[in-house]
Each structure stands twice: as C-alpha cells, then as structure tokens.
Amino acid sequence: MRITDVTVTPVAFRDPPLLNSVGVHEPWALRTIVEVHTDEGVSGLGETYGDLGHLNRVRAAAPALTGLDVHDLNGLHARVAAALGGEAGSDRHGLTGPLTVESTVDRVFASFEVATWDIRGKALGRPVSDLLGGRVRDAVPYSAYLFYKWAGHPEAEHDAFGEALDPAGIVTQARMLVAEHGFGSIKLKGGVYAPHLEVEAVHALREAFPDHPLRLDPNAAWTPETSLKVAAELDGVVEYLEDPAPDIDGMARVAAGAPMPLATNMCVIAFEHIAPAVERGAVQVILSDHHYWGGLSRSKELAGICRTFGLGLSMHSNSHLGISLAAMTHLAAATPNLNYACDTHYPWNSADDVITEPFTFVDGAVPVPTAPGLGVELDRDALARAAENYRRCGLVQRDDTGYMQRHDPSYERKRPRW
C-alpha cells in the first residue's frame, strides 16, 4: 500500500485568553490537519502545529512521500529529513524549549507517521492501540488543566469559562472542569504571578480537592533559588513540580534539593537531551508528546528509555483538536509505564473540533476508541469552517507575548522572571 498524495490543511479555532509565563493566548489557535492517501483508497489522518514555519516544512516534505510504502517508517523519516535539508526550527512562543535539527525533523515526521498508523489500522480492521502492542487500560485518565485567564478577550464578550485571576477564581475554574468532566487530578499553569501567589492558589486547590493529585507548571519562570523555596512550601502538596527553572543545569540544581519529583517538557524534548539529563539527575518525570518526539513509534521508544532509567512518564499537551486526542489516547493506552494522568487542552478547544464525533470524558478519562485506525473521521463541513477561520483570522504565528503587549505595553518577556 503506497502513498499517492498528501493533503495539508491549516486551520484556526477559538482559544480563550489563557495566561502563561510568556503572555496570553490569542483569540485563535493554529493547527494543521494532514491527510495521507494511498493507492488502495485508504486514507489516514494526522494533526500537528500550525505556525507558519512548521506549516511550510510540512508542505515541503509532503510531496516527497509519494510512492512510499505506508509501512516504511524508516524510509518516511529519511525522506522528511532529506526534504528539510538540515533546517532547524524555533520555539518562537517560548513554551517548549529549543529545537535541534533532529527534533525539527521529528516534529514534521510525526504528523505523517500518525496518519500511516491510521491507515494501517483501517486496512487491518484494528484500532491503533492494538498495533502499538495492545491496550493495557480501556480508558486513559487526563488531568484538569487550569489557567489564570481573563474573563474574555479584550473588546469581546466574556466567555463561558469566566475570569480566574486569583486563588478563588482558580478554585472556581477547577470545580467547573471537575464537575463537567470528572477529572481526578489537577494541573495549574503558573509562571503568571509572583510565586507566593501561585503557592496560595495551589494550597487553595488542596483545601478544595483534598484527594486530587496536584501539579504546578511555571514554564521555567523561576530561578533555581526561587524554585527551591517554592518546592519547600509545596512539600507533600504536589505530586510533581513541572519545569520550575530553565535548562538542564537549572533543573538539576533544583532537583538536588527539591522534596518532590521534577517533570519537564522543556529541557528534555529530544533524544539527545536524555543522556545529559539522566547524568545530572535533572528530571524524574518526562512529559512525552508524540507531536515533537517523532510520532507514536518513537514515543514508545521514549517510554522504554524512561523504564530503563526509572523515570516517570506522562504526556504534555498544546492547544489541539480531536485527531491529536485520539492519537494521544491510543498511545497512552498501549504504554504500560505511563504512570501519571495526561495533560490536555481539549476542554478549552473542543467546541470547534473537526471530527464527526468529538470526544467526551468519562470520570476524567477518554475511553480508548475501538474502531479501526484512530477511530475518528473528519467532519468536512467543520474542516472547511476551520480552514476559512485560518484564512480570515490574520494569524500565521503564535505570539502570546505580542498579544499581551498590545494590551499591556509595559509587559516584558523575561525568563526567569522571579
């Protein structure tokens, strides 16, 4: 079964004003939908980032896949690498760490790789989780992903999620998400306010949810010294502290004195980062993400490395739609040592999904799809609307900092900030 054509569709969907360490989400989030077609009439889906640089790399690589056997993942990776010609991308929004040539190839390859798993599953009549080794769980738990946020985008109506700018607002947001989706663990995106204020919010969450595992992620907004102070204050309160300080060296300094595990999706984002991180003892939990670790097969390889070195494993999320959630769920279902609930932005973005049957959470988990392949199908009308949103919204690059500065000219992007 050989690839005959690849369709690449950039899309945009509504995003609330979610605050983070580099600014605030713009009104539109960008993604790219990939469809890989074959000579046997079976097509597969993938979803990836939508920033223009990445989109152009996906578009450049797509024609090189024509004629390739869908089972030849090594050949697929080689063709993507050749098409990109040694180019290294950039993390311009500043939330996922520095890219290398290898990780740039992996990010482009991943969208096509997921589509080939979808194709093979459909051809065999089996869900992707079966092809990845079989599911070890029938439903994948996800965490409630909390954000400090404005009530709505400036000069727009307030959104249904409401304002969350203090501990009381964060607890209200958590109650809403837990009541609606049943989440059994909670993550707070920090790095927005002074650390002592975010510690107050975590303690308020602990009081409101005494049995829920908690996490705090300031996206490297703190120095190692500040990180150690926060770690001491949250001893016994959070299950792990995510990316408190920048870089492997900074994380290693924190890990040496922190009483809880440190997790990352910023300082270890490619295979070449694992050895120095393990050597330094910098992290104890890797937040995998098939979008930048090179798809599902390479994410399974990452899971094996984590098992070898006794590292915990969870899953990172960016603003995404249902194709990504399907792939995440199949991967998590077939990864025995994924021992923490996964992150997901889906509750913030699901209203504009491009699949025919958007996912719902059952007791905070997504039941693993049992239909062949990823188990999702495109809603062509919804895809057309999302593509039109992309053409009309005027955004081609995520820019949380620039959007913040338009509304607060005094805002300065700074890392570490405290």
Share above pLDDT 70 across residues of the chain, in percent, rounded to a whole number: 99
pLDDT band at 84 (very low <50, low <70, confident <90, very high): very high
pLDDT at 94: 63
Active-site position among 187, 316, 320, 345? 316
pLDDT at 51: 95
Beta-carbon count within 10 A of 124 CB? 12
With beta carbons less than 8 A apart as the criterion, state whether 76 and 65 touch: yes
* 354-377 tens-digit pLDDT: 999 999 999 999 999 999 999 999
* Rounded mean pLDDT, 43-56: 97
pLDDT band at 91 (very low <50, low <70, confident <90, very high): low
pLDDT at 101: 85
As a whole number, the mean pLDDT across the chain is 96
Q: Going by DSSP bridges, is the β-strand pair 365-367/139-141 parallel, antiparallel, or unpaired?
A: antiparallel
- Decide if pLDDT at 92 tops 70: no
Q: Which two tokens stand for residue 55?
A: 């989109």
Active-site position among 25, 93, 149, 189? 189
Residue 371 is which amino acid? A
**What pTM, to 2 d.p., does this model score?**
0.97
Annotated catalytic residue 290: no
Cis amide linkage into residue 416, ω under 30° from 0: yes
* 279-331 tens-digit pLDDT: 999 999 999 999 999 999 999 999 999 999 999 999 999 999 999 999 999 99
Q: Burial of 53 by CB count in 10 Å (0-12 exposed, 13-18 middle, 19+ buried)?
A: middle
Annotated catalytic residue 414: no
